[in-house]
Amino acid sequence: MVANSETASIKTTRYLPLNHRRILCIFPKYSRSFGTFHHAYPLMGRKVQAFMPPQGILLVASYLPQQWEVRFIDENVQTATKADYQWADAVIVSGMHIQRPQINEINRLAHAEGKITILGGPSVSGCPEYYPEFDILHLGELGDASDRMIEYLDHHTQRPQQQIRFQTKERLPLSEFPIPAYHLLDLNQYFLANIQFSSGCPYRCEFCDIPELYGRSPRLKTPEQVIAELDAMLERGNPGAVYFVDDNFVGDRRAIMKLLPYLIDWQKRNGYPIQFACEATLNLAQSPKLLEMMREAYFCTVFCGIETPEPEALHAISKTHNLSMPILEAVKVLNSYGMEVVSGIIIGFDTDTPETADRILEFIRLSQIPMLTINLLHALPKTPLWRRLEQEGRLVFDENRESNIKFLMPYEQVVEMWRRCITTAYEPEFLYQRFAHNIEHTYPNRIKVPNSPARTSGANIRKGLTYIVNILLRVGLLGNYRQTFWKMALPQLKAGNIENMIHVGLVGHHLIKFAQECAKNEESASFYSQKIRKAVHT
């Protein structure tokens, strides 16, 4: 691992191409899951088709030589056509383990047209053996391997006789990253936008692959880079929210203290056009100065990997930093700064007992957290959990199972615990009670933002009206929980709290619909589920 202080001294020599090339960058479609928020899209009009833009491949598209033609297709928005493949000299793909079938299908279609295929990103970097059919593998982050890949494509238009691997040895410092190629997409097609400030996380949770893929010493962009990216985003649309996809937003607190004044100034200059969200460890609650600055920058949501309310489980998975203060107290502190907490919850730890589901549901009730990503534990390659279970002979590869882990409790009992937790958590009345708590005790703690031209533009007003009409029609009139909806919506409409009504309507609808499908065994119990399901269309 190269520490941040050292990366600043590394200067990558960019390769200058001699030939013209046409590069097709494709991001594969995600399988439907809790985190794709697909049930909310119909409420947002016809334009929204996907959750977030894929940062990694947009960065690669921007890093490619300026004189090359680059075409970007996110297959969550539209599918690459035969003509797209025929147009290209080479096809670059990136993705996560969950997208493996779609990644390999893109490779097959590209090869059918005789095109060179290149695969990079987190999945292939962690498990290159998953992708024997690709022509070129780019392993690791942006850096010297990227330049060698570009040089190869400059000199070759025919597929190589055997697979070539380029492994990054010197990573490009984040401070030298170009602005992702936002000019190649329409941000209004996404549920929300995203941005990266840092890479890496200092903690070593047993189930997480971030430390081994990206290191434990967070590497950083400059605040000026972040501001330039925000400006570039707004030129391509404004979904209304920007999520910091950092592995841990507060992994380097001194760096965040330097960034936040820039974000505050940018929001003030631009009339607070967006809300910010981030992913952070729960011990953020112990940094009041940081929280006050985040509040002023208009951070409204923070995702915390709480994982479980059971202390013995947190010790077992090396997540004791969640115990540095009582979890419920930490949630209240974050709420007091106007931040709605989203929590990760995992079922299937070795410490789980038949009472675990009851404890999780009681925690949900007491914490008043509306949204929780409730997943079955899944072992990812390159994690301490994978290595331990491999030694214990407890990895199971079966397309009829939701998880690749042989749990200590009976498999069906663990799945049923998950199903009970997610269906109960998103029973409409229980979910709306938690939203009501946040409407009363969290949202009022946010700063009062101005009715600036950026917030009251014609485009924003039209977007808001579309949301309102669709929510009132599809949920208020046609929804199977419309009585519960109106108990929340009428007081908010009378008080003029339109944003609250829209937020609860959009997010709540996805959560409720997803849980109803879980009850019918139509959805996966884990983002990484192995189980093969037929496509379900809405």
What percentage of the chain has pLDDT greater than the value 90? 86
Q: Which of 208, 385, 370, 195 is nearest to 305 (CA)?
A: 208
What pLDDT band is residue 504 in, cutting at 50, 70 and 90?
A: very high
Token digits for 133?
């059919």
Q: What is the pLDDT of residue 449?
A: 96
Q: What is the pLDDT of residues 170-193, one digit of tens each?
A: 999 999 999 999 999 999 999 999
What pLDDT band is residue 532 in, cutting at 50, 70 and 90?
A: low
Q: What is the pLDDT of residue 46?
A: 85
Q: Given the DSSP bridges, would you call strands 198-199 and 219-220 parallel, antiparallel or unpaired?
A: antiparallel
Say yes or no to pLDDT of 12 above 80: no
**Rounded (10°) angle between helices 411-425 and 498-519:** 150
Say yes or no to pLDDT of 378 above 90: yes
* CATH of span 21-167: 3.40.50.280
Kindly list the strands in the beta sheet with 340-347, ordered across the sheet, starting from the edge strand earlier in the chain. Answer: 193-195, 241-244, 275-279, 299-307, 340-347, 372-376
Residues 176-441: name the CATH superfamily: Aldolase class I (3.20.20.70)
Q: What is the pLDDT of residue 171?
A: 94
Equal CATH topology for 21-167 and 176-441 = no
CA distance readout (Å), 391 to 195, 210, 310, 428: 38, 21, 26, 43
Mean pLDDT lowest among 87-101, 197-211, 274-288, 377-391? 197-211
What pLDDT band is residue 4 in, cutting at 50, 70 and 90?
A: very low
| Domain ranges, ordered by start, for the chain | 21-167, 176-441
Start-to-end C-alpha separation, the chain: 45
H or E segment and range at residue 304: strand 299-307
Q: What is the pLDDT of residue 538?
A: 37
Q: What is the pLDDT of residue 209?
A: 85
Q: What angle do CA 441, 444, 448 make, to 5 degrees?
A: 165
What pLDDT band is residue 6 in, cutting at 50, 70 and 90?
A: very low
Q: Which residues touch 442 (CB under 8 Å, ≥6 apart)?
A: 335, 338, 339, 340
Say yes or no to pLDDT of 536 above 60: no
Q: What is the pLDDT of residue 142?
A: 95
Three-state SS at 193:
strand
What pLDDT band is residue 218 in, cutting at 50, 70 and 90?
A: confident
Q: What is the pLDDT of residues 35-85, one digit of tens each?
A: 899 999 999 988 999 999 999 999 999 999 999 999 999 999 999 999 999
Say yes or no to pLDDT of 7 above 60: no
Q: What is the pLDDT of residue 527?
A: 72
Q: How many CB atoms lie within 10 A of CB 342?
A: 19
CA distance readout (Å), 277 to 48, 248, 297, 301, 510: 19, 12, 10, 5, 19
Mean of per-residue pLDDT scores for the chain? 93
Q: What is the pLDDT of residue 216?
A: 83
Mean pLDDT lowest among 35-39, 299-303, 358-362? 35-39
Q: What is the mean pLDDT of residues 130-149?
A: 97
Say yes or no to pLDDT of 368 above 50: yes
H or E segment and range at residue 493: helix 482-494
